[in-house]
Structure 1
Amino acid sequence: MRLAAAIASLVLLAACDTGTEERDAVASTRTVQRGYVPVPPGTVARGASAQAAALAPPGPERTPALLARGEDRFKAFCTPCHGVSGRGDGPVVSRGFVPPPSYHEERLRALTPEQIVQVITQGRGRMFSYADRVLPEERWEIAHYVKELQARGTGASSGQEGAKP
């Protein structure tokens, strides 16, 4: 009986905190809370130069593989609003969302891939930034795929809605 009580007390003591942090700095969720220290001026975030280089024009060379990846990324991120054809007829529009502009409007046909990457990165109008969701190389893939959609005059590689002869 004494042995069981001794083992139980050892188990309970092992579960206690180690006391390595000051008690006042530890929250109930066991995270350490420290005061805010401002970032020194001129500091560059880790990986920022690599990201800036990945976004720098002219971007990667347009290849069939790049367009295939661009189509995949376009379907994942852009079709909910812009639709498969890029005409602004995505599923959210049927649920009351204001339609985005069609990629086939003359104003958007004049955009360069660099400008499309910039819109994906920074957002514009009702479109919010996708910088935290889409990697820089994927932004280029999407931009080149959008230019491909515009060149075809359709949005569906399999001849879906909006196809022209």
Structure 2
Amino acid sequence: MNALLRAGLILAVLVSMVGCDNLERQRKSRDQAASDFFPNGQVQQVPPRGTIARGDGARQQTLATRPTMTPELLQRGQDRYQVYCTPCHGLAGDGHGTVVARGFPAPPDFTEPRLLAMPDGYFVNVITNGYGQMYSYAARVAPADRWAIAAYIRALQLSRHAPAGQLSAEDRQALGAAP
């Protein structure tokens, strides 16, 4: 009885495996191949106008809304800046990163008058779409982190052009003692 049950089970598995081959023989189209299904003869079709990828609406809303400046936002911006931006832009934002020292083109100094005059959204747009030699970081940097990096860039700009008279006595003393 036990051997009969075992043989029946093996037979059932073999029969079910034969049916799996139908997926391999079904009618389908390969990417970039011609198709007789669509009128234009292409397999890959352009999405309809206004199509938004799942979850992309929230990403776009995050990009459209500048967050409130907070110490947490600046801390996150500093962290993300050091991960993604310092290889080219350098720790100080002066364009003297490690890849520049190895022969890559130098990015602009964030304290150039042109960049000082730009709105925060400009930096978010450059991170999103790239500019000049810089390619897009949209796939690497989350929208909220792009705003955090832009806020940190503003802090870098301010720190390099802050008049010493605006510093506290303790900070001026520390600045004078720096090598």
Aligned positions of 1:3-152 closer than 5 A? 17-22=20-25, 25=28, 35-57=43-65, 59-152=66-159
Seen in structure 2, the aligned counterparts of structure 1 residues 86 and 13 have a Cα distance that, compared at 3 Å, is: farther
TM-score of the pair, normalised by structure 2: 0.68
**Structure number with higher relative contact order (C-alpha < 8 Å, ≥ 6 residues apart):** 1
Q: RMSD across aligned C-alpha pairs, in angstroms?
A: 3.1
Q: Mark the runs of 5 or more structure 1 residues left unpaired by the alignment.
A: 1-5, 28-34, 155-162
**Separation of aligned partners in 1, 2:129 and 2:45:** 27
Q: How far apart are 1:37 and its partner, in Å?
A: 3.5
Q: How many residues in Structure 1 have an aligned counterpart in Structure 2?
A: 149
Cα distance change, pair 14–94 in 1 and its aligned pair in 2 (3 A): farther
Give the percent of matched residue pairs that are identical in Structure 1 and Structure 2.
42
TM-score, with structure 1 as normaliser: 0.74
In 1, Cα distance between the equivalents of 2:50 and 2:73? 36
Higher-helix-fraction structure:
2
Which deviates the most, 18-27 or 139-148?
18-27
Distance apart, 1:46 and its partner CA: 2.1
Q: Select the structure of larger CA radius of gyration.
A: 2
Distance 1:9 1:112 in 2: 72
What stretches of structure 2 of length at least 5 have no aligned partner?
1-7, 31-42, 162-174
